[in-house]
Chains A and B, each alone.
Chain A
Amino acid sequence: MQKYLAIIKMQVINNIAYPGDFLGRSISIGIFLFIFAGLWGTTFRIAGTDSINGLTFANMMWYLMMAETIELGRPRTNRIISEQVKNGEVAYILNKPYNFLLYHFSFGLGDSLLRVGMNIVVGLLVAWLLAGPPPSLLGWGMALVTLVGAWILHFCMMALIGLAAFLVEETNSFELIYQKFVFVLGGMLLPLDMFPEWLQGVARALPFPYMMYTPARLFVKPDVELFWQMLGIQWLWVAALVFLLAIAYRGSEKVLTVNGG
């Protein structure tokens, strides 16, 4: 266990090796929120209403703040695995006494911890400025709890895509497709509440809403019953994807060919 904590710590240190770059990246959430504020401000004005499908302008802004925090802070495991397969560095990762997937889990977590933290800080300041005070403490609590499962789901998806690199090396296109699913069906661009019923049904049958919509929705409109329901389904998806990942890893390990051999 200690070794995985050490990897998380190392990656945190690695992230602050270039403070300028780190701060620069943290600002992007602020820029996105400014753009969204303009878009949604206009939408609400033109619609001449205070609330669309139960969500106010302030709800929208805090929803997007949480969704962007997740999107900008999620692990990039597939890119790291692809890179390591392409440049052959994977040889060093594979011949150390740790579990390959737990290594990447820790690496990704170390990466995300700081980014999510900074995104929350910058996002909080900017969203407060644009939309007034943040949601209740209950909302924060539910968001943070469901954030854990959301992060693990993202990790599993990214790692699954990353393992494809053992076969095809380059996985960027898969990530783009995945990202679009999360954007639309995960409720990243629009909360699912804005969708027609049938599309909401489709989305809810897939893991994507539990990666993005769940924490963001509970953040702005905390609801105890919904919380337990979503948390339960979220962790069922976690169990399913972890299982799938373990199988995929077993299969892909054998086909790996280290470049430059």
Chain B
Amino acid sequence: MTSIEVHSLHKVFQTKRKAAGLGASTRALFKPEYSEVEAVRKLSFQMESGELLGFIGPNGAGKSTTIKILTGILHPTDGDAKVLGYVPWKERQKLAFHIGTVFGQRPQLWYHLPAIDTFTLFGKIYELDDREIKKRIDFLTEAFEIRDLLETPVRKLSLGQRMRCEVAASLLHRPKLILLDEPSIGLDVVAKQHIRDAIRRMNQEEGVGVLLTSHDAGDLEALCKRVIIINHGQIVYEDKVSNLKRKHLTSKLVEVRYAQEVPANFHLNGVEILKVGRYGVKLRFDTNQTPVDKVMAHLSSVGDLVDITISDPPLEEVIAKIYREAAK
């Protein structure tokens, strides 16, 4: 079953333009000039229920705008969209009962009160009865490991702790779909891991669909099965994350350490030498052009190997490459 269907979605914003200085400001008062920004351009995609879909793109790519249209907060300029069978901007309140949202850069928990108060309030807003609210809070506090944080005023929580509470709050009413807009922004590695684990668990146990926007490739790698990469409001890439890796993660980084000194004229055809040290070499090659066994055979012929590390380049580089290719 499809949970999101988007067809030719288009959103144009009008922004005021004004040159620097007093003169320009005065002129702008009487004759304001506007320029149009196409935040989303003829976007079409689908998302299945229970899917983990990554929506990746650089700043200003149109990710948040799309999410805001899909939750019914923004009206599109043109195009159609259905989320769980509802047209978001026409049936926003009905849709609200079935979706959860987290905007990573903005708090929805009441800042001066403990998270438990907001949880209870949300329970009432989503029309759950008291017993159900309590049961749900118990479950979520366990899943997100936030039992000890519930009674601390939100303003005293660390960002990571707060975000766990924020995501948990968005799941209180058992939504079928959650839209997470940059949930890991500003978090440290451990906090990111915590959030990702909890989201994955909710997806597996409750079948919640997750549409996640991020510019952190780590979120994508850890969570999503499929990815849509957008830039300038358009889809530039759409595929399974595993295919993305297979097709684009073809270059390998190799670091080798030898028992003897490395010859100064170390060289190998089809391999880019990044660094030659006294006892070690760092190189990069493309597996499509240079077979792995050829490289390995050469490396072991040079001397006695003490240590070897082979790694993929960070996914971020791959995505950056896709942006660059799309720009061309």
Contacts and interface: CB of A to CB of B under 8 A. Distances in A.
The judgment on whether A and B are partners is yes
Interface string A91-119: 11011111100000000000000000000
Interface residues of B, number: 35
Interface stretch (A3-11, A53-61, A133-141): A3-11
Contact of B73 (A18, A87, A95, A99): A95
Contacts of B94: 97
Closest 6 CB pairs between A and B?
A6-B124, A97-B96, A17-B112, A92-B108, A261-B65, A3-B125
A256 B124 contact: no
B43 to A, nearest CB: 14
Interface of B: 13, 39, 64-65, 68, 71-75, 92-94, 96-97, 99, 101, 103, 105-108, 110, 112-113, 117-118, 120-122, 124-127, 153
A261 B68 contact: yes
Contact of B72 (A2, A6, A14, A95): A95
B110 A14 contact: yes
A258 interface: yes
A13 B64 contact: no
A260 interface: yes
A91 B97 contact: no
A92 B103 contact: yes
A257 B96 contact: no
Interface residues of A, number: 28
A204 B64 CA distance: 49
Contacts of A90: 73
B106 A89 contact: yes
Contacts of A14: 110, 112-113
A88 B106 contact: yes
Nearest to A103: B125
Nearest to A84: B106
A74 B106 CA distance: 28
Given A3-B125, A3-B127, A17-B112, A10 B103 contact: no
Given A10-B113, A96-B96, A91 B107 contact: no
Given A92-B103, A95-B96, A97-B96, A258 B113 contact: no
